Structure 1
Amino acid sequence: MVFKPLLKVNSSCMNLTKFPLNPAVIINSEKSYSSKPNVTKKIYCGTVTITSLPSSLSSDRVCNNSASLPLNWRDIQGLNNWENLIQPLSPLLQDEIIRYGKFVTACYEAFDLNPNSKRYLNCKHSKNRMFLAVGWGDCGYTVTKYVYATANINVPIQNGGSCARWIGYIAVSSDEEVKRIGRRDILVTFRGTVTYQEWIVNFMSSLSPARLDPNDPKPDIMVEAGFLNLYTSSETNVRFGLGSCREQLLSEISRLLRIYKNEELSITLAGHSMGSSLAMLLAYDIAEVGLKQPSVPLTVFSFAGPRVGNVHFKERCEELGVKVLRIVNANDPITKLPGIIFNESFSTWRSACYAHVGIELVLDPLKPNEDETNGMSGIMIDQRIKKGVNMMEFFKIDDILCVHDMQTYIEMIKNCPRRSRIRRKGVDMIKKLKEMNMTSVAWIYVATTLVVLLTILV
């Protein structure tokens, strides 16, 4: 299916070497290279399929008490690729996944979908009261910056003026929270797809060279064109328009790294769906341009994330020491895209094949009575999807949002490692889209998305 009549991408937005990388602003340091490769593994909640790596983490090193977090936070952040924290799932890691998931949920709860509001498609609340407004005033973090993104595309339905939409926020842990978690945590959180332009961006699945390092473009490292467009596009044609999402992020992270340079730090990126893709691009960007000191861990908690780049992108992220924990619902088709066929398992044409990055924690609620010692392998799940087994069940209209919903992911993690069946919410998709004020044109985009998914999977 071709969208050329609807899409017009300004190629100038893809000239990524123009970003003002000021040596006085960015903390220059030699890049951190992991001595242990960030091996991609599929891990199933309750049952684990894992290739063992040399362990430096004893079984009693991470206990089940949250009081141990200050001593073990580097392991929780993926220092050793979460080895010995998955089988069984460490309650400490489980709590941290849920905690970062709640930060992502706050993005959705604070996002204004009321078309009559002055803050429509922006955050409903000011930075200093956002967490309080969403009912999480004791989270221990302070929002330092809101982040906005715009896709550099022309569509018939977009209105004049600024097209930048609130996509997430940057926050930093308070002094009191530092004592609890053992370090100063710089957190960046992204929501998933909501607006018209973001739906269209999801169609732009061709691979494009990332070229985020102006000193060494590395054209073989390629990422999904739509996500790259959203990450790098700015509103240069609008008066008082915002800089790109990338510029906003790197500038604020640089500022926070300077402020807390004498403290023990971590950088944590968390996102859902499209937001997890932006988190992956940011993590790679930070590592590639040498924004942080080698001693500062850089971790991505990805919820329901699609593939972002090719095999070379995956390998470079591992080489740079980017740690990624992917939390995946086995029923969620978005996590299989793009590259359902031409992916990391396809040995030919590596540059043209998409690849997942990092450790994959798979949540599989399909078989509640399944013996926990006999889990379903990743190959079986892939084959079940490719063959179209239970495909109509897979794409039921009242379930399509449920299997991908952020709250569903949090509930599944809460039930892990128990093989409890997650009750389907019976989401009313029509009501949900009406709440988002989606017009008939937007319905075309949604319907086409489902058709594309079905076509690719079958």
Structure 2
Amino acid sequence: MALSTMTHTHLPATRQPRLSQLNAAPAIQEVVHDHPQAKTASRATRWAESLSHLLHLHVEPPSSSHAGVHNFTWHLPRDHEQKLSTPAMSPKEDISQKWREIQGFSDWEDLLDPLHPWLRREIIKYGEFAQATYDAFDHDAFSEYCGSCRYNKNKLFAKMGLTRHRYKATKYIYAMSHIELPHWIERSHVADTWSRDSNWMGYVAVSDDEETRRIGRRDILVAWRGTVVPCEWFEDFQSKLDPIGQGEAKVEHGFLSIYTSKSDSTRYNKSSASEQVMREVIMLVNSYEEKGEEVSLTITGHSLGGALALLNAHEAGSTIPDLPITVISFGAPRVGNLAFKDELDNLGVKTLRIVTKQDLVPRMPGLVFNEALQIFDEITGTLEWIYTHVGTELKLDARSSPYLKKGMNFSGFHGLETYLHLVDGYLSSKVPFRLEARRDVALVNKACDMIVDELRIPHCWYQLANKGLVCNDHGRWVKPKREPDDVPSPTIEAHNHGNHDLAVEMQTYNVNITGPLRSA
């Protein structure tokens, strides 16, 4: 795919040494957090297996070109035991002088093959922020808070073990949809629930002063949640394209519905996810720019979350001129047509799309009608109804890791923890897995069964203690009540002032909020 050569106008004119030319020591990655109890995906697996036969997909054993992988596998348990007594992280590097290259202003030229250690660390950082949207999600159908975040925003990163990244969550995002999405919308079986129509969909955060100095700018982060049973999302969406923006751009109907739906009859979605996130981003950008700080926006998400990240980036790029915007997505599907891709390029949005070769989700939608048909443009002209991927691709291969089982495991291939494991191990196309990778491999099995049996890591091992039950003073095992500050609250989402505030803020940038994006 052709990549945009546009750069942001505020880049300095003087040319500095390329990041790829620096003699940077390899960064050892780290992560210490949990994943929700895995839900069964047998129906999705059968669906995916049938699809794989249709596509003639085959998961091959490692080829002989993967020199050293077989020998390493033979000694895997012993080497793994040695790693257990070593740190799972390394000191962070000061990237303040090279953050533009790391954020993709040169489309990650010369940074992906081999993968630069500074970029690897940043990819995993944002991936961990995306993982937190799963880790903290209450998916227990017997909980009155099913579909919400278990913790309030002031506790989120501490509970997820992410305080080392030095960001502060400032806003939670809730979403609904006007189309039926039974596997995306999590609903409680309890009569008295926190919400019947909204789910927690992600959050906005911002780097603190120390991290801001390290990374060279004040970074506003938006993390979007994917589907809880990730391989089932393609059963829930239609291959229908709806217009977005003012031109010929079109995007998938279901994704747009989640991003823009709202209803006055709801408590948490009187304003849409779009309006919630843009209100917060605009407020933060104004606040820090008024202080004379340089600001960036980084949007991340996995699966469905990666699709929502692109919609968010399109709106932010259309709304706030000259704001550096980068999307880091994992296992994301196609979202829109070629005109949508071109608009993102023209807006200066930089997208790094991490995919795994064996993952089916990035092939959807547009299984047949996709960017490959562009070779026939001279005959057919531009086809407005075909799906096209966006941005620069970093392609991983699950076969490269000596820690992962071989064979067909579509839920495992698509899991975000599998992606982070492969990113941490990826060195280059010639050296498929770096043996000095330190990220805890046990995390891969949090919600699947991907780790080789020699390591004796239980599959789907993550769950709340006693599956969330606590023993009360009478010796009865009961579901605990949440602390008052952990109960979801729509305090600033009230319709009587929320949308008015957003309209006032967006008028600062001469944007009409009644355009096609929100009328969809």
What TM-score comes out, normalization by structure 2 length?
Answer: 0.62
- Equivalent pair of 1:188/1:268 in contact (CA under 8 Å): yes
Counterpart among 281, 301, 311 of residue 271 in structure 1: 301
Give distance in 2, aligned partners of 1:101 and 1:240: 27
- Equivalent pair of 1:55/1:83 in contact (CA under 8 Å): no
The match for 2:417 is 407
The match for 2:251 is 223
Q: Residues 81 and 55 (structure 1 numbering): CA distance in 2 closer, same or farther, change over 3 Å?
A: farther
Give distance in 2, aligned partners of 1:273 and 1:243: 24
Displacement of 1:428 in angstroms is 6.2
Displacement of 1:420 in angstroms is 3.5
- Equivalent pair of 1:162/1:241 in contact (CA under 8 Å): no
- Equivalent pair of 1:148/1:168 in contact (CA under 8 Å): yes
Counterpart among 348, 356, 359 of residue 392 in structure 2: 359
Displacement of 1:55 in angstroms is 11
Q: Residues 416 and 325 (structure 1 numbering): CA distance in 2 closer, same or farther, change over 3 Å?
A: same
Q: Residues 180 and 37 (structure 1 numbering): CA distance in 2 closer, same or farther, change over 3 Å?
A: closer
Residue by residue over 1:85-122, the C-alpha shift from the partner in whole angstroms, topping out at 9 and shown as x without a partner, is 11211000011001111111111111112233343211
The match for 2:171 is 145
- Equivalent pair of 2:234/2:361 in contact (CA under 8 Å): no
**Correspondence 1:300 to 2:327:** yes
**Correspondence 1:313 to 2:340:** yes
The match for 1:419 is 432
Displacement of 1:162 in angstroms is 3.6
Displacement of 1:306 in angstroms is 0.5
Q: Residues 338 and 241 (structure 1 numbering): CA distance in 2 closer, same or farther, change over 3 Å?
A: closer
Give distance in 1, aligned partners of 2:181 and 2:391: 35
The match for 1:123 is 149
Displacement of 1:194 in angstroms is 2.5
Counterpart among 134, 139, 145 of residue 113 in structure 1: 139
Give distance in 1, aligned partners of 2:252 and 2:315: 14
Give secondary structure in 2 for the equivalent of 1:266. Answer: strand
Residue by residue over 1:166-220, the C-alpha shift from the partner in whole angstroms, topping out at 9 and shown as x without a partner, is 0110000111211121110000001111389x94884222111113xxxxx22x1
- Equivalent pair of 1:56/1:80 in contact (CA under 8 Å): no
Give distance in 2, aligned partners of 1:239 and 1:249: 17
Q: Residues 263 and 202 (structure 1 numbering): CA distance in 2 closer, same or farther, change over 3 Å?
A: farther
The match for 2:128 is 102
Give distance in 1, aligned partners of 2:249 and 2:4: 21
The match for 1:57 is 18
Q: Where do 5+ consecutive residues of structure 1 fail to align?
A: 1-33, 39-53, 212-216, 370-392, 438-458
- Equivalent pair of 2:167/2:211 in contact (CA under 8 Å): yes
Q: Where do 5+ consecutive residues of structure 2 fail to align?
A: 8-14, 27-91, 375-379, 435-440, 451-458, 468-520
What TM-score comes out, normalization by structure 1 length?
Answer: 0.69
- Equivalent pair of 1:202/1:227 in contact (CA under 8 Å): no
Runs of 4 or more consecutive aligned structure 1 residues displaced over 4 Å after TM superposition: 154-161, 198-201, 421-426
Instruction: Give the AA of the match of 2:5.
Output: K
Give secondary structure in 1 for the equivalent of 2:311. Answer: helix
Counterpart among 187, 199, 202 of residue 168 in structure 1: 202
- Equivalent pair of 1:344/1:353 in contact (CA under 8 Å): yes
Instruction: Give the AA of the match of 2:448.
Output: V
The match for 2:260 is 232
Counterpart among 238, 241, 244 of residue 272 in structure 2: 244
The match for 2:366 is 339
Aligned length: 351
Q: Residues 35 and 308 (structure 1 numbering): CA distance in 2 closer, same or farther, change over 3 Å?
A: closer
Q: Residues 35 and 155 (structure 1 numbering): CA distance in 2 closer, same or farther, change over 3 Å?
A: closer
Greater Cα offset, 236-245 or 104-113 = 236-245
Give secondary structure in 2 for the equivalent of 1:328. Answer: strand
Give distance in 2, aligned partners of 1:87 and 1:195: 32
Counterpart among 36, 56, 62 of residue 5 in structure 2: 36
**Correspondence 1:206 to 2:240:** yes
Greater Cα offset, 249-258 or 337-346 = 337-346
Give secondary structure in 2 for the equivalent of 1:366. Answer: helix
Displacement of 1:62 in angstroms is 7.2
The match for 1:287 is 317
Give distance in 2, aligned partners of 1:241 and 1:277: 20
- Equivalent pair of 1:305/1:335 in contact (CA under 8 Å): yes
